[in-house]
Structures are given as structure tokens and as C-alpha cells.
């Protein structure tokens, strides 16, 4: 009972915020910001997942490319050398029809691949935790088959990773900008609120209210608006992912969040954090702004 009464007292607002226009438009603006931030967060998760998947699949695979005219004994020698290398799990020579199948997406079915001088490919599986001396291995293979190319995919993956990092930077900057916008909007709203309710604030001061008492009124109001905006923005972001998830599945995107959709716990954690953060940022901003402004009043 006492707790309930204390709560009632905690949330009783002496200032007539319900008459302010800010209460009508601010939750929607915050909702838009939270939506953008949440989608940015989804994008970060998506990028991270994609990179991890590629990393995991490519870190344990090498490709050995041999000239088309390499003789079978030399191929066998190269396979033998690979299999004796520490850290190599298996080495599988792709048959011509397998190579043709790999090229089909680019060349189509109409091209007679048998007439093309296609290189022979060896799919090499390695232990991702093993340390392989690629320089020595390359020299060894080159001594068996001149012009053999061992590709460990690192160069390509490094480029992709650098690109992904840049995208992550852009998204993170976007989230920071959105947060800064929320802070700016709350600062202006709090200042407008102080101007609108100046007479009541003066009255509260004259009745013995501390700045903290008045600031609490503003911060509770801001928390309420921020959480309302956070919930609306969070639900909109969840709906977007729920709708896009099956689409990603149909398109066979290699994206876990698109595949798992609403069952991905990180999505819910992200939306919860985004919603709460909107309320928290709004509350803290309102408190600091109001306390600073009140300190200038007599």
C-alpha cells in the first residue's frame, strides 16, 4: 500500500504537460528515430553475421588452380604434397563436369565447355585453427607444377571485410546522429516547456520546491514520451524484420536474421535496448537541460 502511494506521488505531475503540443508530436518523431536506429542495428547484426559466415566457410578452404594441360602424374604428385602438409584435412580434385557446373551461372548451358581450356581445380579443406606455411607450400607446388596457383581467399575476404567495416562505420554514425537528434529535440522541447510553464515553475519555487523537484516533473514527462516513441519505433522495426525475414528466406540470402526472423533473440534485445535507450536518453537530457535552466532563475 505504502509502495503504491509512493508511486502515485512519484508520478504525480504538478505541471500541465498534457496541454503541451510536444506530447502529441514528440513520440512520433522519437519513434521515427528509434526505427531508424533499430534498423541500423539490424543492419549491423546482418553484416556481422554475413562476415562471420563467409569467414567461417573460407577460413577452412583453399583452392588450388592448375593449368588445363597438367598431366595426371603431376596432379597426383601435387595432391600428395597437399595431403602431407600439416593442417590439410582433405584435397579433392574437381572433375571437369563439376568445374563446368560451377561456371554455369556465368557461361550458361549453351557454351560447349568441353572445348574450353578450363583449369583443373582442387578443393582443399584445412583445419581453420592450424598454422600453414603458405610460402613453403606454394614453392613446393610450383616445383611440381609451374604456374599452379594456391588461393587462400584472404585477399578477397580482406577487401570485403574492409568494405563491411566502412558500411558499419556509416551505420554507427547514423545511429549516433539519430541519438544526437533525439537529444537536440528534447533540449528544445524542455526549453519550450520551461517557457510555457514558467509561471507554475515560479510558483513551485515560491512554495519551496527545489530545482530537483521541478526537474523530476520534466524528466518523468520526457521518459514517458521517449518510451512511447521507443515502443512505437520498436514495433515498426520488428514488423519490418518480420516482413523482410521471409523475403530474405525466399531469396536465399545468407543472412541468419533474415532466416530466423522473429525467433532471433538478438532482434528482441536490440529493440528492447533501443526503446529503453530512447526513454533513458530523453529523461537524462530533459533533467540536465531543466536543471541548467533553473539554475539561472532567481
Applying CB under 8 A, the residues found at the interface with other proteins are 5-6, 8-9, 12, 14, 16, 18-19, 199-200, 202-211, 213, 295, 298
Closest to other proteins by CB, 76 vs 202, is: 202
Q: What is the 3-state secondary structure (H, E, C) of the chain?
A: CHHHHHHHHHHCCCCCHHHCCHHHHHHHHHHHHHHHHHHHHHHHHHHHHHHHHHHHHHHCEEEEEECCCCCHHHHHHHHHHHHHCCCEEEEEECCHHHHHHHHHHHHCCCCCHHHCCCCEEEEEEECCCCCCCHHHHHHHHHHHCCCCEEECCHHHHHHHHHHHHHHHHHHHHHHHHHHHHHHHHHHHHHHHHHHHCHHHHHHHHHCCCCHHHHHHHHHHHHHHHHHHHHHHHHHHHHHHHHHHHHHHHHCCCCCHHHHHHHHCHHHHHHHHHHHHHHHHHHHHHHHHHHHHHHCCCC
**Nearer residue to other proteins within complex by CB, 47 or 200:** 200
Considering the complex, what minimum distance in angstroms separates the CB of residue 230 from other proteins?
A: 26
Residue with cell 519490418: 240
Name which of 142 and 211 has its Cβ closer to other proteins: 211
Distance in Å, CB of 297 to other proteins, minimum: 10
Shortest separation between residue 277's beta carbon and other proteins, angstroms:
31
- 85 or 293: whose CB is closer to other proteins? 293
Query: For residue 122, which phi and psi values (nearest 5 degrees)?
Result: -120, 120
CB nearer other proteins, residue 2 or residue 114: 2
Nearer to other proteins, 8 or 162 (CB): 8
CB of 203 to other proteins, least distance (A): 5
Minimum distance between the CB of residue 272 and other proteins, rounded to whole angstroms? 33
Torsion angle of C-alpha atoms 288, 290, 293, 298, degrees rounded to 10: -120
**CB within 8 Å of 5: residues ≥ 6 apart:** none
Please state the closest distance from residue 2 (CB atom) to other proteins, in A.
8
Q: For residues 82 and 100, is the Cβ–Cβ distance under 8 A?
A: no
Measured from the CB atom, the residue of 180 and 203 that comes closer to other proteins is: 203
Nearer to other proteins, 19 or 131 (CB): 19
CB of 222 to other proteins, least distance (A): 18
> CB-based contacts of 242: which residues, under 8 Å, 6+ apart?
261, 262
Least gap, CB of 265 to other proteins (angstroms) = 41
Amino acid at each position: 500500500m505504502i509502495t503504491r502511494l509512493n508511486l502515485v506521488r512519484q508520478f504525480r505531475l504538478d505541471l500541465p504537460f498534457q496541454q503541451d503540443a510536444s506530447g502529441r508530436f514528440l513520440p512520433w518523431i522519437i519513434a521515427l528515430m528509434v526505427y531508424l536506429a533499430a534498423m541500423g542495428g539490424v543492419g549491423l547484426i546482418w553484416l556481422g553475421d554475413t562476415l562471420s559466415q563467409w569467414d567461417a566457410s573460407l577460413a577452412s578452404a583453399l583452392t588450388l588452380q592448375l593449368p588445363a594441360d597438367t598431366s595426371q602424374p603431376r596432379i597426383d604428385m601435387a595432391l600428395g604434397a597437399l595431403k602431407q602438409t600439416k593442417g590439410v584435412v582433405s584435397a579433392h580434385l574437381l572433375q571437369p563436369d563439376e568445374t563446368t557446373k560451377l561456371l554455369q551461372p556465368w557461361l550458361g548451358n549453351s557454351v560447349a565447355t568441353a572445348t574450353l581450356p578450363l583449369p583443373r581445380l582442387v578443393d582443399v579443406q584445412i583445419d581453420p585453427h592450424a598454422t600453414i606455411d603458405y610460402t613453403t607450400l606454394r614453392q613446393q607446388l610450383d616445383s611440381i607444377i609451374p604456374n599452379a596457383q594456391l588461393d587462400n581467399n584472404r585477399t578477397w575476404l580482406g577487401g570485403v571485410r574492409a568494405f563491411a567495416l566502412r558500411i558499419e562505420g556509416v551505420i554507427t554514425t547514423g545511429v549516433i546522429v539519430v541519438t544526437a537528434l533525439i537529444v537536440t529535440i528534447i533540449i528544445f522541447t524542455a526549453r519550450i516547456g520551461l517557457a510555457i510553464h514558467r509561471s507554475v515553475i515560479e510558483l513551485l519555487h515560491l512554495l519551496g520546491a527545489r530545482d530537483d523537484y521541478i526537474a523530476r516533473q520534466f524528466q518523468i514527462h520526457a521518459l514517458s514520451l521517449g518510451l512511447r516513441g521507443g515502443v512505437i519505433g520498436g514495433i515498426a522495426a520488428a514488423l519490418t524484420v518480420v516482413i523482410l525475414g521471409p523475403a530474405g528466406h525466399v531469396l536465399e540470402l545468407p543472412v541468419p536474421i533474415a532466416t530466423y526472423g522473429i525467433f532471433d533473440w538478438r532482434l528482441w534485445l536490440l529493440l528492447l535496448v533501443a526503446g529503453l535507450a530512447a526513454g533513458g536518453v530523453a529523461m537524462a537530457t530533459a533533467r540536465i537541460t531543466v536543471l541548467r535552466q533553473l539554475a539561472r532563475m532567481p
